[in-house]
């Protein structure tokens, strides 16, 4: 499997685990606010062997692995890679944009992943703008339902600037995020789902849409106002800084 980088193990990326992180290159989205794409575009492929060689050096501490990207479900050898992690007794967390429900269904049916984190690109009517592509709306909705079936999971939205149809660029509004929360509750069935609203952090010379580099971090007051309102529909919502 292609792995563009391996992050040193940490306690942040996988709640409750000391986890190593495998970044996979390639994504079928072009999120304007993404800062990972430019980094992964030039990343050297260390491959499966390189990653497992790294795991050998930290096996006394690491008890989980996060597979992120890019979009990991694009990797044709994702399942064999996970099976090798499982053979080592490691818990597996997958970060996904939800564009490949067929892969998620396979992972769910075969009980291969312990934790899934899915990025929800704001309210459904703004998904094409916030994802940078069109035509994935039905897949993302199906994936929300599937993700809710994994042993542990979370949904999350970055409160980023979005380019509207009239050319205006502005952060998600409170009303737009209420629509997102309502949709998640409906698609996933009920309101007992972890949902994180997280701040946008600009990266100079590092975003897909350079116009967004002029924006500041998401204003704390906006995050608080959004959290207050979405919590009415998803009570397990939290702010992630």
Show pLDDT as tens, one digit a residue, over the chain (241 residues). Answer: 889 877 778 899 999 999 999 999 989 999 999 987 666 666 778 899 999 999 999 999 999 999 999 899 999 999 999 999 999 999 999 999 999 999 999 999 999 999 999 999 999 999 999 999 999 999 999 999 999 999 999 999 999 999 988 889 999 999 999 999 999 999 999 999 999 999 999 888 789 999 999 999 999 999 999 999 999 999 999 999 7
DSSP 11: S
Which residue pairs from 44-48 have beta carbons closer than 8 angstroms and sit at least 24 positions apart in sequence? 44/4, 44/5, 45/2, 45/3, 45/4, 46/3, 46/4, 46/5, 46/6, 47/1, 47/2, 47/3, 48/1, 48/3, 48/77, 48/81, 48/84
5-240 is a CATH 2.60.15.10 domain: no
Per DSSP, the three-state class of 139 is helix
Asked whether the CA dihedral 84, 87, 91, 97 is positive or negative, the reply is positive
Would you say 181 and 142 are in contact if contact means Cβ atoms under 8 Å apart? no
What are the residue ranges spanned by the domains of the chain? 5-240
Per DSSP, the three-state class of 167 is coil
Per DSSP, the three-state class of 187 is helix
């Amino acid at each position: 499997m292609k792995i563009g980088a391996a992050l040193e193990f940490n306690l942040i990326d996988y709640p409750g685990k000391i986890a190593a992180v495998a970044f996979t290159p390639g994504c079928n989205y072009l999120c304007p606010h993404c800062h990972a794409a430019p980094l992964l575009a030039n990343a050297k492929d260390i491959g499966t062997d390189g990653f497992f060689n790294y795991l050998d050096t930290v096996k006394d501490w690491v008890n989980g692995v996060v597979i992120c990207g890019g979009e990991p479900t694009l990797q044709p050898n994702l399942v064999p890679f996970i099976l090798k992690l499982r053979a080592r007794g490691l818990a597996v967390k997958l970060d996904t944009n939800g564009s490949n429900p067929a892969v998620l269904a396979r992972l769910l049916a075969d009980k291969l992943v312990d934790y899934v984190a899915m990025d929800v690109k704001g309210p459904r009517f703004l998904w094409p703008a916030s994802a940078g592509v069109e035509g994935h709306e039905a897949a993302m909705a199906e994936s929300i339902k599937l993700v809710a079936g994994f042993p542990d999971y979370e949904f999350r939205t970055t409160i980023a600037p979005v380019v509207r149809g009239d050319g205006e660029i502005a952060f998600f509004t409170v009303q737009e995020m209420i629509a997102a929360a309502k949709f998640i509750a409906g698609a996933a069935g009920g309101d007992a789902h972890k949902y994180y609203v997280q701040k946008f952090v600009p990266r100079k010379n590092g975003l897909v849409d350079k116009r967004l580099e002029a924006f500041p971090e998401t204003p704390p007051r906006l995050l608080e106002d959004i959290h207050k309102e979405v919590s009415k529909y998803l009570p397990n919502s939290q702010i992630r800084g």
